[in-house]
A and B are shown apart, each in its own frame.
Chain A
Amino acid sequence: MFARGLKRKSTEDAEDGDGGVAGVPAAPSYTLQRQSLLDMSLVKLQLCHMLVEPNLCRSVLIANTVRQIQEEMTQDGTWRVVAPQAAGRAPLDRLVSTEILCRSGREQEGVGDGPLPDPAPGQAPRRPQSSPWGLDGSREGRGGFQKSLDHIFETLENKTPGSVEELFSDVDSSYYDLDAVLTGMVGGAPSGPGLPAFAPAAAAPPSSTCRSDLGELEHAVEILVET
């Protein structure tokens, strides 16, 4: 999916001889890839509680990955906040946006080093587990998600790029502090959880970052902390 894994942007741009990603902080492909990775990671954190066997090590590693991205984006100044969507569709749209980003990233980059198998267009690599969301637990969970995702895909692809703009508004930035989210200690969360859904690949990617549904994350946090 991403060439050479997703390399961290090097601060010494001049010294870094790597082709492609490093040295071009504003390159849309890198930003898009990083955003996609962030989305994917947040989804994984959300889904931790749905696994048959929640894995503390895995959760910690994913959370650390999110922190790394967050730190880098903060340094970039790209850690901007994006508004939530309508409450009802939010969680599933949130999942969909990652998939679309992954797909658009691949289409931009070409196959390159490629995903593991050659995926069907619009689908993430599905080698061992059939779901791209990394669900390694219940089959019920996967089936349910798949139906919801398919439905949302159809809905989403009917959107026009312009409609994305309507979805953005200002939100308190503490909303998206990962540490606070993980501890479920964020108070006064806005009433409309969710994330913007991105337009299909053809549209220019939004420059803002996207955030998880706080409600979902709080729930995930509850699961993580409970014994």
Chain B
Amino acid sequence: MEEDIDTRKINNSFLRDHSYATEADINLSVEFNHTGELLATGDKGGRVVIFQRSRRSKNQSHEPEFDYLKSLEIEEKINKIRWLPQQNAAYFLLSTNGTWSVIRGQKGYNLKDEEGRLRDPATITTLRVPVLRPMDLMVEATPRRVFANAHTYHINSISVTATMKPTYIVDIKPANMEELTEVITAAEFHPHHCNTFVYSSSKGTIRLCDMRASALCDRHTKFFEEPEDPSNRSFFSEIISSISDVKFSHSGRYIMTRDYLTVKVWDLNMENRPIETYQVHDYLRSKLCSLYENDCIFDKFECVWNGSDSVIMTGSYNNFFRMFDRNTKRDVTLEASRENSKPRAILKPRKVCVGGKRRKDEISVDSLDFSKKILHTAWHPSENIIAVAATNNLYIFQDKVN
């Protein structure tokens, strides 16, 4: 499998591949399709942009790049994007904003409802140390209207079953508001067992449901919850335990959850606690009141697995994103910003200084820019190519094949 991923190697390997910018705060959602050939982004203004992998060889080295393929305007705000398993040569893109639409994502974009067919998942290849390299292509897009839907409850999470029928889990408002103390925050279908799905809650719990057992999603077959740590108890404990994203591993054996300060990996066979916990930005623990005041504490970060389930990635503030190697237990902080990543330049790891003397190149907690948050990231299903949405910029980083 992959060799030991040294932090320095990871540092040396990520280069900016591509940048796609808009002027407005568009909150890009990003997703690779199942083969990794297409990358879709959707923004608040209702714009869907699809990039396609191109294989041009330059200088005898195989340097796959992403080309801007097509964009599509729909009159709705896009929250999440998920690819449906494709049927033959047709690609499908699903977006949601409170309603949903299926878009044929190839030539000739049509808005209509479709069903695809199951396709064999791409073979997961061995991952080398990821090396990121910037691309030359730059796409500028003009900002669009932000659609205000004051009275709709958006679909928060969408997932696609292995056998094709898209199914949705929506936050349901109870008849009596005073009874509402917990909401569903994210959900996903099992990658292999289409009858099984998980959903997470605002109280930090995960429920695994088998639809064969019950038609109601409140009948769960497994219930995952970690006991609360009494020494860390505060008025913000519940808020920071709220799970913002849940993702099955590609193997289907694990689930990963993201709450405000951590990423946790759970074994489906162990419900009483996660098997791994990774601190994303624990230095924020002493700032929770301020983050509550400015609403940052409600930011919903996503998390992703790499193709082999050995590395997990999630975003943070100041345009930082974090990667954790589950095998070596090493982690790295990288930054997605134009200023810090010239084309073809290698990203250097960043470090947040939590106290004491600040070293050169470190950034102190109080200097972090909390308006620059990376909520959405995507990892190619089989290669070391990642897409990082930093506010109104999309960065694609890819492995430098030596």
The answer on a CB contact under 8 Å between A6 and B235 is yes
Q: Which of A52-60, A78-86, A156-164 contacts B (4 or more CB under 8 A)?
A: A52-60
Task: Say yes or no for A96: interface residue by CB 8 A criterion.
Answer: no
Q: How far is the CA of A117 from the CA of B296 in the complex (A)?
A: 14
CB distance from A179 to the nearest CB of B (A): 4
Q: How far is the CA of A124 from the CA of B176 in the complex (A)?
A: 35
Total number of A residues with any Cβ neighbor in B under 8 Å? 55
Collect the chain B residues with CB atoms within 8 Å of residue A124's CB: 293
Task: Say yes or no for B292: interface residue by CB 8 A criterion.
Answer: yes
The answer on a CB contact under 8 Å between A52 and B288 is no
Collect the chain A residues with CB atoms within 8 Å of residue B185's CB: 57
Total number of B residues with any Cβ neighbor in A under 8 Å? 49
The answer on a CB contact under 8 Å between A224 and B290 is no
Task: Say yes or no for B142: interface residue by CB 8 A criterion.
Answer: no
The answer on a CB contact under 8 Å between B183 and A1 is no
Docked complex: A187-227 residues within 8 A CB-CB of B:
221, 223-227
Docked complex: A104-128 residues within 8 A CB-CB of B:
113-118, 124-128
Return the chain A residue nearest B182 by Cβ: A60
Q: How far is the CA of A33 from the CA of B289 in the complex (A)?
A: 10
* Per-residue interface assignment for chain B, residues 211 to 239, with 1 indicating a CB less than 8 Å from any chain A CB and 0 otherwise: 00000000000000000000001111111
CB distance from A82 to the nearest CB of B (A): 21
Q: Which of B146, B234, B242 contacts A52 (CB 8 A)?
A: B146
Return the chain B residue nearest A112 by Cβ: B286
Q: Could you tell me which B residues sit within 8 Å of A by CB distance?
A: 146, 148-154, 156, 171, 173, 176-178, 180-183, 185, 202, 233-239, 242, 285-296, 298, 365-371, 373
Q: How far is the CA of A7 from the CA of B287 in the complex (A)?
A: 12
**A118-B292 contact in complex given A6-B235, A182-B177, C-beta closer than 8 Å:** no
Q: Which of B153, B177, B290, B368 contacts A221 (CB 8 A)?
A: B177
Collect the chain B residues with CB atoms within 8 Å of residue A67's CB: 181
The answer on a CB contact under 8 Å between A132 and B294 is yes
Q: Which of B183, B202, B235, B367 contacts A69 (CB 8 A)?
A: B235
Collect the chain A residues with CB atoms within 8 Å of residue B296's CB: 127-128
Task: Say yes or no for A176: interface residue by CB 8 A criterion.
Answer: no
The answer on a CB contact under 8 Å between B290 and A56 is no
Task: Say yes or no for A152: interface residue by CB 8 A criterion.
Answer: no
Collect the chain B residues with CB atoms within 8 Å of residue A49's CB: 150
Collect the chain B residues with CB atoms within 8 Å of residue A128's CB: 294, 296, 369-371, 373
Collect the chain B residues with CB atoms within 8 Å of residue A132's CB: 293-294
Task: Say yes or no for A8: interface residue by CB 8 A criterion.
Answer: yes
Collect the chain B residues with CB atoms within 8 Å of residue A44's CB: 295
Q: Which of A5, A60, A63 contacts B286 (CB 8 A)?
A: A5
Task: Say yes or no for A3: interface residue by CB 8 A criterion.
Answer: yes
Q: How far is the CA of A125 from the CA of B294 in the complex (A)?
A: 8
**A8-B177 contact in complex given A56-B171, A125-B290, C-beta closer than 8 Å:** no
The answer on a CB contact under 8 Å between B177 and A224 is yes
The answer on a CB contact under 8 Å between B295 and A134 is yes
Q: How far is the CA of A134 from the CA of B290 in the complex (A)?
A: 10
Q: How far is the CA of A183 from the CA of B154 in the complex (A)?
A: 22
Further pairs besides A129-B371, A179-B178, A225-B173: 13, Cβ < 8 Å = A5-B285, A7-B234, A8-B234, A52-B146, A56-B183, A58-B298, A115-B290, A116-B368, A128-B371, A136-B295, A183-B178, A224-B177, A227-B151
Task: Say yes or no for A68: interface residue by CB 8 A criterion.
Answer: yes
Collect the chain B residues with CB atoms within 8 Å of residue A224's CB: 177
Collect the chain A residues with CB atoms within 8 Å of residue B146's CB: 52
Task: Say yes or no for A64: interface residue by CB 8 A criterion.
Answer: yes
Collect the chain A residues with CB atoms within 8 Å of residue B177's CB: 182-183, 221, 224-225
The answer on a CB contact under 8 Å between B287 and A113 is yes
The answer on a CB contact under 8 Å between B294 and A127 is yes
15 interchain pairs, CB-CB under 8 A: A3-B286, A5-B286, A37-B292, A40-B292, A52-B148, A57-B298, A60-B202, A61-B238, A64-B238, A127-B371, A128-B294, A128-B369, A183-B177, A223-B150, A227-B173
The answer on a CB contact under 8 Å between B366 and A65 is no
The answer on a CB contact under 8 Å between A1 and B178 is no
Collect the chain A residues with CB atoms within 8 Å of residue B289's CB: 1-2, 5-6, 33, 37
Docked complex: A32-60 residues within 8 A CB-CB of B:
33-34, 37, 40, 44, 49, 52-58, 60
Collect the chain B residues with CB atoms within 8 Å of residue A147's CB: none
Collect the chain A residues with CB atoms within 8 Å of residue B180's CB: 60
Q: Which of A118, A126, A183, A226 contacts B366 (CB 8 A)?
A: A118
CB distance from B402 to the nearest CB of A (A): 40
The answer on a CB contact under 8 Å between B182 and A126 is no
CB distance from B251 to the nearest CB of A (A): 29
Q: How far is the CA of A44 from the CA of B173 in the complex (A)?
A: 20
CB distance from A85 to the nearest CB of B (A): 24
CB distance from B255 to the nearest CB of A (A): 19
